[in-house]
Structure 1
């Protein structure tokens, strides 16, 4: 029996590790106050980003986990704890969106710092379930009396409430293949510009879209896992890319209405600052 379980683990785990949860709304989290003028201060998170995020290229950043673990582990934990004490249901929608995205990203950094050094966030194997991988299913925080995982924040709150494909460009999974951890905290009064900037940064980076010699496309696995969020048809998906594409990518896309996809790729290595 033990041998059978091991064989199943080896055969099934890779597929499960890449399976994307569906957007499944938890209705309680729809509560909000449109008239609220309360502004959440994300200054502590901004201070962390200022000190430990390095911009490598447009749409590409790294985080200095090694130094942050020594200097700012408690500060990251303190910000997460402070956010957990807020009554998020009393906020307006834009404040809520900024709250959840910043909390998701800070919680991801905290999880990595809690277990650092690791080569990949998938090595932090704390999610429940025999075939689970990584930290995404682990209940990590309590907000308004409800315990939440990273998966809960992304797939039960952010995606189903806002239904905006740009969400995928602003939640960071601490991996090189992931859209960049933004060097600026998300703010309610800047959301549209920040969301567009995140989308442009990722879409125009080679890890999102490249073209093979035979003309077929190599896409980020993000566009495989969450394809419906970006458009059910090839034409819809191309329109999404074109909305944020620069001149180089537009030249590649041309007037295509269908995509010949050669492969999907994703680099799960930790998005850490290299130390020579």
Structure 2
């Protein structure tokens, strides 16, 4: 009951002020806990904020005068919002990898409408965020709705908070012992660092990148292995 009342208040405030980032921020604050777990069941019953935000995305595209941070924040929010939509449209399910439509997996389905154009999650990630923004921290900002992934942020990205948010998300992810196991002589890290190794090693070695954020500093010649990835949904139990 309390969550429903909170949602209605946030909905009223957000619609009145018509700050679309605030709309998505209100949704995340209400349905994502501090550990990044999402209340998908609650969201299915109260999709109003998500629908408002998705309607905004359908009619909005970053302008040429937007800063890089503003555009990056926009596309990362869009990716996360459409990931939530994809889960809700397929719920209940155990893993995002269970989603299949016309032979396509969750990331290759063209369903995300932004500025009247239809994209897949793969396109947003690889053709827009990775190609045009060249920032490995993007991988902790966009979310695959899985247990082994980075913590789903319970706030929307903005041009103002983007750098500090991505720095904190990367630091928290690397130092999360349930996602990465780091010692001086050996590191067992997320498959994410293997899948996108080129992004993390463009300007340094992988160990150097890990050491930038890790509280435990790793030797340069430390053994590196990659952990199995748990695709189970990051939903509240």
TM-score range, shorter chain: 0.7 to 0.9
1:47-62 equivalences under 5 Å are 47-56=26-35, 61-62=36-37
Contact residue 194 and residue 226 of structure 2 kept, 8 A: no
User: In the alignment, what sits opposite 1:44?
Assistant: 23
Superposition deviation, residue 244 in structure 1? 1.2
TM-score scaled to structure 2, two decimals?
A: 0.85
User: In the alignment, what sits opposite 2:97?
Assistant: 122
Contact residue 218 and residue 265 of structure 1 kept, 8 A: no
Q: CA RMSD in A?
A: 2.1
Listed one character per residue, the Cα deviations across residues 96-118 of structure 1 (whole Å, up to 9, x for unaligned) are 11100111101101110111111
Contact residue 60 and residue 114 of structure 2 kept, 8 A: yes
1:107 to 65, 76, 82: 82
User: In the alignment, what sits opposite 1:201?
Assistant: 172
Is 1:170 the counterpart of 2:141? The answer is yes
Superposition deviation, residue 145 in structure 1? 4.0
Listed one character per residue, the Cα deviations across residues 147-174 of structure 1 (whole Å, up to 9, x for unaligned) are 2110011100001111111010100111
User: In the alignment, what sits opposite 1:273?
Assistant: 236
1:1-150 equivalences under 5 Å are 41-56=20-35, 61-71=36-46, 73-90=47-64, 91-126=66-101, 129=103, 132-133=104-105, 135-150=106-121
Contact residue 20 and residue 56 of structure 2 kept, 8 A: no
> Mind listing any 5+ residue stretches in structure 2 that lack a counterpart?
1-18
TM-score scaled to structure 1, two decimals?
A: 0.73
Q: State the aligned residue count.
A: 218
Listed one character per residue, the Cα deviations across residues 5-32 of structure 1 (whole Å, up to 9, x for unaligned) are xxxxxxxxxxxxxxxxxxxxxxxxxxxx
> Mind listing any 5+ residue stretches in structure 1 that lack a counterpart?
1-39
Sort the Cα spacing of 1:218 and 1:41 in 2 relative to 1 into closer, same or farther, 3 A. Answer: same
Between Structure 1 and Structure 2, whose CA radius of gyration is higher? Answer: 1
The CA distance in 2 between the partners of 1:239 and 1:84, in whole Å, is 40
Q: Which moved more, 1:178-187 or 1:74-83?
A: 74-83
Listed one character per residue, the Cα deviations across residues 31-79 of structure 1 (whole Å, up to 9, x for unaligned) are xxxxxxxxx73011111111111113xxxx20000111112x2421321
